[in-house]
Structure 1
Amino acid sequence: MAVDKSGARVRQMFGEIARRYDLMNHVLSGGTDIYWRSRTVRLVPPQGDAPILDVCTGTGDLALAYSKAAGGRVPVVGSDFTHEMLVLANRKRDKVVKEASAPVSFLEADTQKLPFPDNTFQIVSVAFGLRNVSDTRAGLREMARVCRPGGTVAVLEFSKPKGRLFGGIYQQYFRHVLPRVGQFFAKNKQDAYEYLPASVSEFPSGEKLTAMMDECGLHSSRYVPFTFGVCSLYMGTK
């Protein structure tokens, strides 16, 4: 049975876990989610003064990382369709963004219908959110549409470790331990931490996702595995 990724279900689910979202990300990944975002910013760095967009931004960690990497001199926008997540993103921004000369702003928007003109952003990024978009291709096409020619679409997402030993151990943790721990600490009606491994197992990874990116308006798409392939960074050029 296909995972239910309807907008209403996903919005409610992330709204319910928003308050514990950051804590659970750090706990369940052993803190490596922080490293994955920092490496994303290093591999796809800001260049010039064109703005940057982070879609499905959640509580804004990658958007804020990009603002920091740009020295606060480049406008950064984070978009998400879950209001509760954006409330936390704004609070976080107000605490950490002190000396920026360019704004970091957050707005409520569906990644499949972004409210921006064509060819606007030098980087359009997403971290652990594309698999939650009900139509992956529609999300990628919108990301490519608002990216400037020569710019980069960067997708940081969970993938499937290939090694037999590590991959087997990880799959056991991901499918059986993580959902129980997540549900215990971040109780919700939508079984968010059961949804996580199910959505990852259905989502295209590796060459399948890079091929899809190239079909959706990008070219020369490639990927770099992180942490033995637990997640990967996908990069495509507009």
Structure 2
Amino acid sequence: MTRPDTTTKHGTDVSAMFDEVSPKYDLLNDVLSAGNSRLWRIATTRAIGPRKGMRILDLAAGTGTSSAALAAHGAHVTAADFSEGMLAEGRRRNAGNDLIDFVWADATQLPFEDDSFDAATISYGLRNVSDPKQALAEMARVVKPGGRVVIAEFSRPSSEAVNWAYTKYNRHVLPRVAGLINRDAAEAYKYLNESIEEWPAQEELARWLREAGLERVAYRNLTLGIVALHRGFVPRAKPAAPATKDQGADKPAAKASAATKPATQAAAAKAAAPKSATKKADASKPDAAKSAAKKPATKKPAAKKPTTKSTAKASADKKPAAKKPATKKPAANTDTTAKPTPKSETNERGHE
């Protein structure tokens, strides 16, 4: 009998062990759990919530006992395992069930596309995987957003007295009973006991589920904590935040605003200047527009040196319009009887 190392848990060793015990594996589980394995299966099935049309991945499915319970509700189940002996036994027992497909798979490198299943589950097999955290991440990857991952695994009894009795039973009684039913199974169940003792408590496994990206993680104990039923949900796809969309939509508008900034400033300067100055400035408008188009948006066109043509026109006008004294002909809305106002006041009134 192959006995895997609980430290390394090489896949080939573990699968070889299960190959050898596959014919009487379910019988051993029923006897050694005193029938509780059937109750645990019912609780696990309810936690998954199978229904017609669902696609469910059942990892470490073994002979397909748990898969058959899910398929009984109309779900299509992919029963995956890395033990060819277990898969062969499962195919034999469920030969007429079209709702179950038996597939060889490594839990740490699942051969399925992202978002392939509505739910994924693994019963009493996660502790036999060499990298259980990677297996949880893979399960989360292949389940659709909003789908659930359910883990049924031997755990730590909440009572110290129960934990003491449970440990003694696993160490001394379980291997002997297993050997009586299947002589080759004694060593296998010694390994299984060791893997149970080294398995983390409920809170630690719940943390692993969160690290795998699952949300709403919770667990409940079955049979005083001998088994714990964990579940978590794959986060739903988050829609893009409204602020992000608005920012993206504002980008073209911001560019357009930058491109039209010189024209806006020119309009403001025109409104601030007296009417007589505006008429003279209009004469050089085409050249000024060309100059503004060539300069960066952050500089006012009025601050640029005039082109050759505009220089000639500016010479003819003697002085640029922007430097006309405030004592020249006032704007139409200025009170002509009042004293000449300072330049800053004129500009304010022009804006008004």
Q: Same fold (TM over 0.5)?
A: yes
Name the CA distance, whole Å, in 2 between partners of 1:158 and 1:58. 17
Q: Deviations over 1:89-134 (max 9, x none)?
A: 1122136x4xxxx621111111111111101111100000000000
Tell whether 2:16 aligns with 1:12.
yes
Give the equivalent residue in structure 2 for 1:137: 133
| Equivalent residue in structure 1 for 2:189, among 185, 190, 193 | 193
| Equivalent residue in structure 2 for 1:149, among 145, 149, 152 | 145
The answer to whether the 8 A contact 1:3-1:195 is kept is: no
Rg bigger for which structure?
A: 2
Q: Secondary structure at the match of 2:157?
A: coil
Name the CA distance, whole Å, in 2 between partners of 1:162 and 1:171. 13
Q: Secondary structure at the match of 2:224?
A: helix
Matched residue type, 1:37 = R
Q: Secondary structure at the match of 1:228?
A: coil
Aligned residues: 230
TM (norm. structure 1) is 0.91
Higher strand share: 1
Q: For 1:56-75, what aligned pairs fall within 5 Å after superposition?
A: 56-68=60-72, 70=73, 72=74, 74-75=75-76
Name the CA distance, whole Å, in 2 between partners of 1:190 and 1:147. 37
Measured on the aligned residues, the alpha-carbon RMSD in Å equals: 1.7
Structure 1 residue ranges without an equivalent (≥5): none
User: Once the 2 structures are TM-superposed, how far is the Cα of residue 4 of structure 1 from its aligned partner?
Assistant: 4.0
Q: For 1:35-114, what aligned pairs fall within 5 Å after superposition?
A: 35-47=39-51, 49-68=53-72, 70=73, 72=74, 74-94=75-95, 97=97, 103-114=99-110
Q: Deviations over 1:109-164 (max 9, x none)?
A: 11111111101111100000000000011111111110111111000000121213
Name the CA distance, whole Å, in 2 between partners of 1:85 and 1:6. 17
Q: Secondary structure at the match of 2:115?
A: coil
User: Once the 2 structures are TM-superposed, how far is the Cα of residue 201 of structure 1 from its aligned partner?
Assistant: 1.4
Give the equivalent residue in structure 1 for 2:35: 31
Name the CA distance, whole Å, in 1 between partners of 2:160 and 2:198. 20
TM (norm. structure 2) is 0.62
The answer to whether the 8 A contact 2:17-2:188 is kept is: yes
User: Once the 2 structures are TM-superposed, how far is the Cα of residue 47 of structure 1 from its aligned partner?
Assistant: 4.8
The answer to whether the 8 A contact 1:41-1:66 is kept is: yes
The answer to whether the 8 A contact 1:226-1:233 is kept is: yes
Identity across matched positions, percent? 38
User: Once the 2 structures are TM-superposed, how far is the Cα of residue 87 of structure 1 from its aligned partner?
Assistant: 1.0
Classify 1:190/1:32 alpha carbon distance in 2 versus 1 (closer, same or farther; 3 Å).
closer
